[in-house]
């Protein structure tokens, strides 16, 4: 299927690894020009080289922290126009809410709620003027089914989700072919998941492989998702074919969520 977005410009945040990289790669394969960001420049350059090897659109990199105003300004400055915005950042650490103070909450809100809102504020009205725009926010399955130890994520991402539900339905956006949707990953095989499992294995005094396999075999699919699968869904949501899908929360979890709906 031709997604019809060749030549568009996409800003894909936090995209040197994992799910963000999966999204950037899927868009780059479609001939979208991509600006990718991450804090660490080495992995960012390696990813850019991989995307350039597709031989399609332009690939630009911006090293910086997308949760800061300076990081966002640099990312926006590198993108001639933002037709597609993929919001992403690292997730907050696990813990017990009794140990979190204002500082921890503000950091989580900055990363997983306010940064994506700031980037939408900077881009969606221009998208509407041009008559095309696609925003995909990478959130988490924890928005639908909270994960006890990830209270900061449950809270901050739910705030973003509630805000997006209203914004996406503004006629000045939806009526001008600007869609805003959230992708909710369940467990995907990325560095982040591997680090989380490694930490759990150390806490339990068990080998990594044993905890990894236990987690994997508890899934209906008996496997974790891949960044490529995640990217493919993101690219479809960014396509010309997805103009009638907005304000939605798509769970990509291999059937882990146990509800009928």
User: Can you give the binding site for ligand NAP, defined by CB under 6 A?
Assistant: 14-20, 37-40, 43, 65-67, 88-91, 138, 140-141, 185, 187-188, 190-193
Structure tokens of 82? 């933002």
Distance of alpha carbon 12 from alpha carbon 21, whole angstroms: 8
CA distance 24 to 235: 9
CA torsion sign for 188, 161, 137, 102 is negative
**Shortest reach from residue 178's CB to ligand NAP, in Å:** 23
HSE of 205 in the Cβ direction (CA atoms, 13 Å)?
0
Report CA torsion sign: 45, 51, 54, 55: negative
CB of 17 to ligand NAP, least distance (A): 4
- Residue 183 Cβ vs ligand NAP, minimum distance, rounded to whole Å: 9
**DSSP SS3 for 60:** strand
Of the pair 119, 138, the CB lying nearest ligand NAP is at: 138
The DSSP output letter for 57 is S
Is 1 or 70 the residue whose CB approaches ligand NAP more closely? Answer: 70
Tell me if 40 sits within 8 A of 16, measured CB to CB.
yes
Whose Cβ is closer to ligand NAP: residue 3's or residue 14's?
14
Cα-to-chain-centroid distance, residue 126? 21
Tell me whether residue 140 or residue 246 sits nearer to ligand NAP (CB atom). Answer: 140
CB of 112 to ligand NAP, least distance (A): 7
Is the CB of 140 or the CB of 181 nearer to ligand NAP?
Answer: 140
**At its nearest, how many Å lie between ligand NAP and the CB of residue 172?**
29
């Amino acid at each position: 299927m031709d997604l019809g977005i060749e030549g568009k410009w996409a800003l894909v945040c936090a995209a040197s690894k994992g799910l963000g990289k999966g999204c950037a790669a899927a868009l780059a394969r479609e001939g979208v020009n991509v600006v990718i960001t991450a804090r660490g420049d080495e992995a960012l350059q390696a990813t850019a080289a991989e995307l350039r090897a597709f031989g399609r659109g332009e690939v630009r990199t911006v090293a910086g922290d997308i949760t800061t105003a300076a990081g966002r300004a640099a990312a926006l400055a590198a993108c001639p126009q933002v037709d597609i915005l993929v919001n992403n950042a690292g997730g907050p650490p696990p813990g017990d809410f009794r140990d979190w103070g204002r500082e921890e909450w503000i950091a989580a809100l900055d990363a997983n709620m306010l940064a994506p809102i700031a980037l939408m504020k900077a881009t969606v009205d221009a998208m509407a003027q041009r008559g095309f725009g696609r925003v995909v926010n990478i959130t988490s399955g924890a928005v639908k089914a909270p994960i006890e130890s990830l209270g900061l994520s449950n809270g901050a991402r739910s705030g973003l989700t509630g805000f997006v539900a209203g914004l996406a339905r503004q006629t000045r956006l939806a009526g001008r072919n600007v869609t805003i949707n959230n992708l909710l990953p369940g467990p995907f095989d990325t560095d982040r998941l591997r680090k989380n499992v490694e930490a759990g294995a150390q806490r339990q005094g068990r080998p990594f492989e044993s905890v990894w396999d236990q987690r994997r075999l508890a899934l209906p699919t008996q496997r974790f998702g891949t960044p490529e699968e995640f990217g493919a869904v993101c690219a479809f949501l960014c396509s010309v074919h997805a103009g009638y899908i907005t304000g939605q929360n798509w769970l990509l979890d291999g059937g882990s969520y146990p509800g009928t709906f």
